[in-house]
Structure 1
C-alpha cells in the first residue's frame, strides 16, 4: 500500500475520512472498472460517487465483484469509505429519502459513510430527470428551503443509514445559513480546490466551524489555464523529483484537505497516490500564485451563479 493511502483525518461526526480518494465523475464503462479495481489494489479505500454521475449502478457491481475476490483484493465493505451526493432536483423531504434509497440500491450497500447535498440550490426536474431549464437555458429554481433538505439528511443520520452528512459547493454564506437551522453541523464541505482556486477564506471559515473541506478537481480537470503548467509548480516538481500533478495533490493534503483526484487511466493512479506533504517554502511559493480560475462553474451550464462571482 502507498503510504499516504493509510492516512485519515477526523470528522466532527467522529468518523475518519481517508485523505486520498478516487473520484468517479465522468467515468463510465469500460474505463470505470479497471480504474476502481486498480485503485483498490493499490490501497485506496475512499470512493467518491454521486447519483448525477449516472454510474453508481456500475460502481456497485464492480465493488461486489471486488469483495468476492479475496485472493486479489482482500477487502470488505466496512474497509471502504463510500460517498454519494443528493442531486438538485431531490431536495424536498420525501425526495431525499427516495433518492437515498436508490443510491443504496445502485451501490449495493445498506449504508453510506458520507452523504452530501450536491449543490446549495433546488431545481425543478425535466422529463429526463435532469435540472429543468427555461426557454433561455436558465435552470428553474424550486423553492425548497435548505433547512428542509438538511432536516431530512439528519433523519437519515439518526436512522443509521449514513455515518456522516455534509454538503458540496457551499460558500461560507450558504454554510452560515445552514448552521442556523442545523441540529447536526455538516461534517464535510466538498468544493473545487487547486492553486488557481485556493478559497483561503472558505477554508478558514470551515476550520473555525469544524467542517472538513474536501478538494475536488485538485488537478484542474485538464482545463486551461492549467495549474500544472504554472512555473512555480513546475519548478517545485523538478526540485523534488515529482510530477506537477503530484505537487498539486501534495499541496492539497498539506493544507489538510482530503483529495479525490480522477483519472480514466489506471496506470496514472500510482502516480496520483504517491504523494507527500510539502515543505514550508514550497507551500509559500504555491500560495503566492495569483491566477484565479474556476473549472466547475454553474453559470456555464445552468446560468445560475451560486458563488456570487467569488474566485
Structure 2
C-alpha cells in the first residue's frame, strides 16, 4: 500500500458557511468502465490513504456499496464521520415536488449516513437518459431549461437544507445566463458548483462569475477524463496531458502531466475530483497538491493553453427541436426565463 498522507497537510477551502472542504477529492463516476465493487474498493483505499472528500451521485449506481465502505471505516475507527466531506446529487428524473426528498432519502440509506455535506442538482433540467446509453440516444420528453421549473426544484433543495439533511446545497452544469435567471430567486445560495474544468477547457468567464458570487468551483474531468464514456468522445477532442504547455511544466517538475493539471486547478482556486481505481494513481493525485507548487510563470503558461474544448457535451439531454449540444450551454443566444 502507498504511504498514508496526513489529511491535515492537504490544503482546504473555506466555504461561506465557515466549513472547510479539502482542495482535492475523489470522484466515483466510473460506471461505464468499472464495476461498483471496483469503485467502492478504491474509495476504501482512498480513505485509508488520506482522502477526505468524496463525490458521489445516485445515477452512478454504486452508492450502496460505497455506503458499506463508509460504514466500515467509521466502525473500525479509520475515520470519523465529521472528518469526511461527502457529496451526492439528485438525478434528473427526481426534480418534481417531493421527489428531491425521496431521492436524498435513498442516497442517505445507501450511503448509510444521516446527512450529506453537500447535495447538488446534477443537471439544471429534468431530462433523463438511461444508464450506459450511447451518444445518439434522445428522450422525446426532454425540455429546454426553464428558470421557473428549476426554482421549483431548488425550493425542494432548500427544504432538505432546512431539515439538516444536506449541510450545503449546490448546483452543477450551470451557465452564466442560467445563474442570472435564478440566483436572485434563491433563498439559500449555492455553496458549490460542479463544472467541467481542465487546462484545455478553463471556462474563465464562468469561473470568475462563480468566485464573484462566493460559489466555490469543483472541477470534474480535471485531467481530461481519458476514461470518460464513449458517448462523450468526439473527433477533435484535445488531450490535456499532451498539451505542450502542460508537458513542459511536467518535465520541469519531473512529474506526470496529469499531476500538473491537478496542481494548476488547485492553485487556481478550484477543487479537482479525479477518479481512478488504481492505488498508484489516486495516491499520486493526492500527493500532488502538497508542496512543489507551480510558478507564476507556469500558471500563466497553462492559462494560455485553453482550447475551449468541452468534453462532456451532454447531447443525450437534448430536446426535440434543439439544433445541437451547444443549445444546452446557452451558446445559441437564447434562454427560457
Q: TM-score, normalised by structure 2?
A: 0.83
Show the 5 A alignment for 1:192-271: 192-222=196-226, 224-271=237-284
Is the partner of 1:9 in helix, strand or coil?
Answer: strand
Equivalent-residue separation in structure 1 for 2:21 and 2:137 (angstroms): 42
Equivalent-residue separation in structure 2 for 1:97 and 1:129 (angstroms): 22
Is the partner of 1:237 in helix, strand or coil?
Answer: helix
Equivalent-residue separation in structure 2 for 1:68 and 1:176 (angstroms): 44
Structure 1: runs of 5 or more not aligned: none
Equivalent-residue separation in structure 2 for 1:92 and 1:65 (angstroms): 34
Matched, 1:302 2:317: yes
C-alpha RMSD of matched pairs (Å):
2.4
Q: Is residue 201–residue 306 contact of structure 2 (8 Å, CA) maintained in 1?
A: no
Show the 5 A alignment for 1:102-117: 102-117=106-121
> Which residue is 1:39 aligned to?
46
> Which residue is 2:170 aligned to?
166
1:141 to 140, 143, 147: 143
Matched, 1:285 2:289: no
Aligned residues: 303
Q: Is residue 214–residue 259 contact of structure 1 (8 Å, CA) maintained in 2?
A: yes
Deviations 1:107-156 (A, max 9, x none): 11010100000011123x68x7999xx99655522976111111111111
Shift of 1:161: 1.1
Is the partner of 2:166 in helix, strand or coil?
Answer: coil
Is the partner of 1:221 in helix, strand or coil?
Answer: coil
> Which residue is 2:62 aligned to?
55
Show the 5 A alignment for 1:167-182: 167-182=171-186
Q: Compare 225-234 and 246-255 and name the one that shifted more.
A: 225-234
Structure 2: runs of 5 or more not aligned: 227-232, 319-324, 333-337
Equivalent-residue separation in structure 2 for 1:17 and 1:259 (angstroms): 12
1:90 to 91, 94, 102: 94
Q: Compare 135-144 and 190-199 and name the one that shifted more.
A: 135-144
Shift of 1:208: 1.1
Shift of 1:302: 2.7
